[in-house]
Amino acid sequence: MGHVAEIWRHPIKSHGREPLSHVTLTAGQTLPWDRHWAVAHEACKFKTDDPKWVMCRNFMIGVATPALAAIWASFDEVTGQITLTHTDLSPITFAPDRPEDVARFIAWVQPLCPPDKRQPTDIVTAGTRGMTDTAYPTVSIMTRATHRAVEAQLGTPIAHHRWRGNIWLDGPEPWEEFDWTGGDIRIGDAVLSVQEPIRRCMATAANPQTGKRDVDTLAALRDGWDHQHFGVYATVKTSGTLRVGDTYEVL
């Protein structure tokens, strides 16, 4: 029977990932603390006095700054502090909501940002509305079988973290998750409604260990299956807790 293989969250959009053993989802919301913050640049149109969701191009993201892919995160929900690590930098621990800490973070991340590209200026948040790439609050679902299919197409193993998924399932056939679009899936105690496939960008070409682009994931998707999708977006329909090892059921 299929089950939850992994759960991941990304506290600061495009700036690190961390594994979870369990999570409680709330109807109509993103995974708690996932993309809770985002790093603004000088052309960002996000308004702190009217903190509404804006498109990903308003933030520092991996498609323009591939070195960000090698950041790993650990978030303490009690203290509100995040520890970030990167193979080329010393670790940093800071509170994203404290202006003096934001300045330290920007100085820390600056070496990863190409000087001819946009530069980080601030950390912003829209509260519980995570800065997902969708205009509606979503949780991403991916499968190990589909990842293995892409590896076979590439002819080499690659780290699955580059897909930046929230919930990884073991059990479905490759690409089976696309068939769930328009339907519901129960995972643990929660029920999610699958909305659409996730269209991918060049951020997925960056190695999450080195931060360097090492494979052409988009070409693999196009050559193998004539599309540019991996994983699906889902909305939380019924609140509930899910854990690594929990089974899932397509309803």
Chain mean pLDDT for the chain: 96
- Specify the pLDDT at position 110: 96
Question: What is the spatial distance between Cα 144 and Cα 85, in angstroms, rounded to a whole number?
Answer: 26
Q: How confident is the model at residue 102 (pLDDT cuts 50, 70, 90)?
A: very high
The 10s digit of each residue's pLDDT in 23-36 is 999 999 999 999 99
CA distance 160 to 100: 34
Phi, psi values for residue 231, rounded to 5°: 80, 175
Q: In this prediction, what percent of the chain has a pLDDT beyond 70?
A: 100
AA letter at 173: E
The answer to whether domain 3-9+22-29+134-250 has CATH 3.40.50.11540 is no
Strand 229-238 relative to strand 139-143, pairing:
antiparallel
Task: List C-alpha distances in Å: 15 to 38, 87, 95, 135, 139.
Answer: 8, 13, 14, 20, 17
Q: What pLDDT score was predicted for residue 1?
A: 73
Which among 115, 108, 116, 58 is positioned nearest to 88, based on CA atoms? 108
Task: Give the pLDDT confidence score for residue 207 in this predicted structure.
Answer: 96
Q: What is the pLDDT of residues 114-150, one digit of tens each?
A: 999 999 999 999 988 999 999 999 999 999 999 999 9
- By CB atoms closer than 10 A (0-12, 13-18, 19+), residue 185 is buried
pLDDT at position 48 over 90: no
Write the DSSP symbol of residue 179.
G
> Rounded to 5 degrees, what angle do the CA atoms 40, 13, 118 make?
35
Which of 24-28, 76-80, 127-131, 163-167 has the least mean pLDDT? 127-131
In the chain the first and final C-alpha atoms are separated, in Å, by 15
How do the domains of the chain map onto residue ranges?
3-9+22-29+134-250, 37-125
CB 44 within 8 A of CB 59: yes
User: Per-residue pLDDT averaged across 161-185, rounded?
Assistant: 97
Please state, as a whole number, how many other Cβ atoms lie within 10 Å of the Cβ of residue 79: 9
Model confidence, pTM: 0.96
